[in-house]
């Protein structure tokens, strides 16, 4: 089966004040249709930058960068853009404070000249487990979990085949995180979504993903399966350190 | 456990507002010895407010009441603002969550740390500087001379948090309240910071209150844990028994946390029972 997302030798370099910073260096991976691919790493490891490069939000260089079999150029057409949608980390920062839930969900449909806007907004609200009474509320009238549901509804309203999730639950309490992770698990089945989940939390990634890439200093250290992660059957020392650290505090130094 | 350092009985914190009184902490009672006590709970459960109340730092118009609030034999309820100032920083101090927002951005970190020294310990500036360097070394900063001359924005998150800890510990308090000290840090850095705190508790016999929402960290790091829900302490247990907790809320929290050891098809969600607030 042809991969939904193909990345080969992807590099992202930022330049400022005459200095170069190589945020992502020669990263390659494929994501199969319907797969949830995980990327983990610490701050500054380049994991979010990879997502932004795939979405065309930052300039990148690569041997191959394909989304659904089509090369992904930096300038994306409207059709390219609706192929993939983003859910960001902070639901407090990623929703427009002066737009109601209705405005937020309506906008992508209007941009893409869709029909049945009213019906689709109603359906999207129900899909993410919000009630119709939330439709005309502003983001500040919603809890963090409800906001993240709105962000997910906005991402899914154009029925994209691909969802890019950048730390979707890091700003949420454990109980709310569980609800959002369950929702994402349910939606990816209903809509056979392909997704990439970026997180610093190994347990969250192992919960949702089949295969996981470990990033450090902009490089891909190794790609492992969720089972490898659970059993600790990994080759790189860095991965071992990460796993040990996320299992909790140990008195002896790692 | 040795004699208790801190005894709290029936602590209540409330904030009067336009739509009535918000009870942030309700009837909390606990004691602290020279040990690591964890407080866990979700946003709004009152864990940070409890920590602030212990330092007399509940902002206006908050009201703090308690039956008993004693620290090393001293009645905290009767403390004047001046007495609080003597206690805070010298005898008890607090490490905040995010070093970016809790350090003064226009002073070098060395200056900020040594300030505590000459304010509380009345040392000479030269002596304060020496102690600052030694303290930065104790929190495992590699080049303390250099780092002491840096401004907060020049530090990474992990370094910033170590600087905060150094600043809070330089006056050698007996009680440290750490409010989510590692939540903004990467996991590998998190463990380094925890090791520093652990060594301080064991070597200096300090009492530590460790406020966190991270069950994995609390259960592996602390000795005892208080679980807060809706401003109440709903359960107290030994940290290592957190996975076999009795209260339904604690059990629900544990079941809702994704685990590397126990794969689950679906995570349990927390069904809240109004009776927990009774």
Residues of B in contact with A253 (CB under 8 A): 195
- Comparing alpha-carbon positions, the chain A residue that sits nearest to B250 is A175
User: B162 to chain A, minimum CA–CA distance in Å?
Assistant: 17
* DSSP string for residues in B184-220: TS-HHHHHHHHHHHHHHHHHH--EEEEEES-HHHHHH
Record the tokens describing residue B14, joined without a space.
Answer: 């409330």
DSSP secondary structure letter of residue B266: S
Q: Which residues pair with B235 in a beta bridge?
A: B227
CB contact under 8 A, A178 and B42: no
Q: How large is the average pLDDT for residues A33-48?
A: 91
CB contact under 8 A, A248 and B43: no
pLDDT in tens, B9-27: 999 999 998 888 989 999 9
CB contact under 8 A, B261 and A207: no
pLDDT > 90 in chain A, percent = 67
Q: How large is the average pLDDT for residues A182-204?
A: 92
pLDDT in tens, A74-105: 778 888 888 899 998 888 888 999 999 999 99
pLDDT of residue B119: 85
SS3 B253: helix
The tokens 């992990």 sit on which residue? B158
The tokens 């602390």 sit on which residue? B222
- Angle value at C-alpha A207, between A204 and A211, nearest 5 degrees: 100
CB contact under 8 A, B260 and A179: no
Residues 6+ apart with CB under 8 A from B230: B26, B45, B46, B276, B277
- Comparing alpha-carbon positions, the chain B residue that sits nearest to A246 is B187
Of the given ranges (A122-131, B142-151, B191-200), which has the lowest mean pLDDT?
B191-200
CA distance B142 to A189: 49
At residue A73, does pLDDT exceed 80?
no
The tokens 């064991």 sit on which residue? B202
CA distance B266 to A115: 35
CB contact under 8 A, B263 and A175: no
Residues 6+ apart with CB under 8 A from B63: B12, B13, B14, B15, B16
Q: How large is the average pLDDT for residues B151-158?
A: 86
* DSSP string for residues in chain A: ---SEEEEEEEEEEEETTEEEEEEEEEEEEE-TT-EEEEE--TTSSHHHHHHHHTTSS--B-SEEEETTEE--SS--HHHHHHEEEE-S-TTTSS-TTS-HHHHHHHHHHHTT-S-HHHHHHHHHHHTT--GGGTT--GGGS-HHHHHHHHHHHHHTT--SEEEEESTTTTS-HHHHHHHHHHHHHHHHHTT-EEEEEES-HHHHHHH-SEEEEEETTEEEEEEEHHHHHHT--S-HHHHHHHHHHT---SS--
Q: How large is the average pLDDT for residues A31-57?
A: 91
CB contact under 8 A, A251 and B198: yes
pLDDT of residue A37: 96
pLDDT in tens, A151-160: 999 999 999 9
CATH top-level class of A5-246: alpha beta
pLDDT of residue A252: 62
3-state SS of A23-92? Answer: EEEEEEEEECCCCEEEEECCCCCCHHHHHHHHCCCCCCECCEEEECCEECCCCCCHHHHHHEEEECCCCC
DSSP secondary structure letter of residue B106: T
Q: Which residues pair with B17 in a beta bridge?
A: B20
At residue A237, does pLDDT exceed 50?
yes
CB contact under 8 A, B190 and A248: no
CB atoms within 10 A of CB B132: 25
Q: How large is the average pLDDT for residues B59-79?
A: 92
Q: Which of B187, B189, B263 lies at the smallest CB-CB distance from A246? A: B187
User: B86 to chain A, minimum CA–CA distance in Å?
Assistant: 34
- Phi/psi of residue A146, each to 5°? -65, -40
CB contact under 8 A, A249 and B194: yes
User: A108 to chain B, minimum CA–CA distance in Å?
Assistant: 31
Size of interface A-B (CB pairs under 8 A): 93
A188 touches chain B (CB under 8 A): no
Short-list B175, B181, B176, B143, CA closest to B162: B181
At residue A180, does pLDDT exceed 70?
yes
pLDDT > 70 in chain B, percent = 99
Record the tokens describing residue A66, joined without a space.
Answer: 């394909």
A240 touches chain B (CB under 8 A): no
pLDDT of residue A254: 41
Answer yes or no: is the ipTM higher than 0.85. Answer: no
A192 touches chain B (CB under 8 A): no
pLDDT of residue B1: 44
- Comparing alpha-carbon positions, the chain A residue that sits nearest to B267 is A178
CA distance A45 to A43: 6
At residue B65, does pLDDT exceed 60?
yes
User: A160 to chain B, minimum CA–CA distance in Å?
Assistant: 24
Q: Which residues pair with A8 in a beta bridge?
A: A64
The tokens 């020279």 sit on which residue? B34
pLDDT in tens, B99-139: 878 899 999 999 999 988 888 888 898 999 999 999 898 88
- Comparing alpha-carbon positions, the chain B residue that sits nearest to A199 is B186
pLDDT of residue B160: 87
Mutation target to probe the B interface, by most B beta carbons within 10 A, among A174, A214, A229, A232 is: A174
- Comparing alpha-carbon positions, the chain A residue that sits nearest to B271 is A175
Of the given ranges (A73-77, B49-53, B241-245), which has the lowest mean pLDDT?
A73-77
Instruction: Report the predicted TM-score, pTM, of the whole model to 2 decimal places.
Output: 0.85
CB-count exposure of residue B3 (10 Å: 0-12, 13-18, 19+): exposed
């Amino acid at each position: 089966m042809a991969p939904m997302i193909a990345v080969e030798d992807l590099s992202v370099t930022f330049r400022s004040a005459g200095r170069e910073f190589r945020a992502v260096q020669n990263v390659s991976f494929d994501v199969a249709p319907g797969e949830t691919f995980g990327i983990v790493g610490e701050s500054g490891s380049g994991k979010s930058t990879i997502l932004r490069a795939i979405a065309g939000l930052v300039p990148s260089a690569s041997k191959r960068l394909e989304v659904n079999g089509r090369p992904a150029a930096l300038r994306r057409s409207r059709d390219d853009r609706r192929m993939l949608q983003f859910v960001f980390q902070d639901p407090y920062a990623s929703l427009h404070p002066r737009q109601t839930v209705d405005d937020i969900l309506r906008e992508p449909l209007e941009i893409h000249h869709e029909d049945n806007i009213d019906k689709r907004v109603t359906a999207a609200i129900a899909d993410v487990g919000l009630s119709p009474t939330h439709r005309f509320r502003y983001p500040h009238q919603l809890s963090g979990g409800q906001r993240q549901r709105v962000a997910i509804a906005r991402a899914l309203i154009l029925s994209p085949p691909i969802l890019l999730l950048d730390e979707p639950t890091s700003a949420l309490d454990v109980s709310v995180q569980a609800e959002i992770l369950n929702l994402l698990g349910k939606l990816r089945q209903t809509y056979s979504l392909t997704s990439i989940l970026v997180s610093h939390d190994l347990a969250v990634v192992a919960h949702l993903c089949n295969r996981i890439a470990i990033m450090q200093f902009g490089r891909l250290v190794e790609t492992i399966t969720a089972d490898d992660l659970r059993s600790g059957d990994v080759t790189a020392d860095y991965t071992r350190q990460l796993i040990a650290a996320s299992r909790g505090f140990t008195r002896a130094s790692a | 456990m040795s004699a208790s350092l801190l005894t709290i009985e029936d602590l209540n914190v409330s904030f009067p507002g336009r739509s009535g009184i918000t009870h942030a902490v309700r009837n909390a009672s606990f004691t602290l010895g020279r040990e690591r006590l964890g407080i866990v709970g979700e946003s709004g459960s009152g864990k940070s407010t409890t920590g602030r109340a212990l330092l007399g730092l509940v902002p206006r118009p908050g009201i703090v009441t308690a039956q008993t609030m004693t620290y090393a034999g001293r009645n905290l309820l009767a403390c004047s603002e001046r007495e609080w100032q003597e206690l805070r920083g010298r005898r008890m101090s607090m490490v905040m969550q995010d070093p970016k927002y809790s350090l003064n951005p226009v002073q070098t970190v060395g200056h900020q740390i040594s300030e505590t020294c000459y304010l509380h310990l009345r040392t000479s500036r030269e002596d304060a500087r020496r102690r600052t360097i030694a303290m930065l070394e104790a929190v495992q900063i590699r080049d303390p001379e250099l780092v002491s001359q840096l401004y907060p924005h020049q530090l990474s998150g992990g370094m910033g948090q170590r600087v905060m800890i150094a600043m809070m510990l330089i006056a050698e308090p007996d009680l440290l309240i750490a409010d989510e000290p590692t939540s903004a840090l990467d996991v590998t850095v998190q463990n380094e910071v925890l090791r520093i705190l652990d060594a301080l508790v064991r070597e200096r016999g300090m009492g530590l209150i460790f406020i966190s929402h991270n069950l994995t960290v609390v259960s592996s790091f602390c000795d005892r844990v208080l679980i807060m829900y809706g401003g109440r302490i709903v359960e107290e247990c030994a940290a290592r028994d957190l996975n076999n907790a009795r209260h339904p809320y604690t059990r629900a929290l544990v079941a809702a946390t994704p685990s590397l050891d126990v794969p689950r098809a679906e995570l349990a969600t927390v069904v809240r029972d109004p009776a927990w607030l009774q």
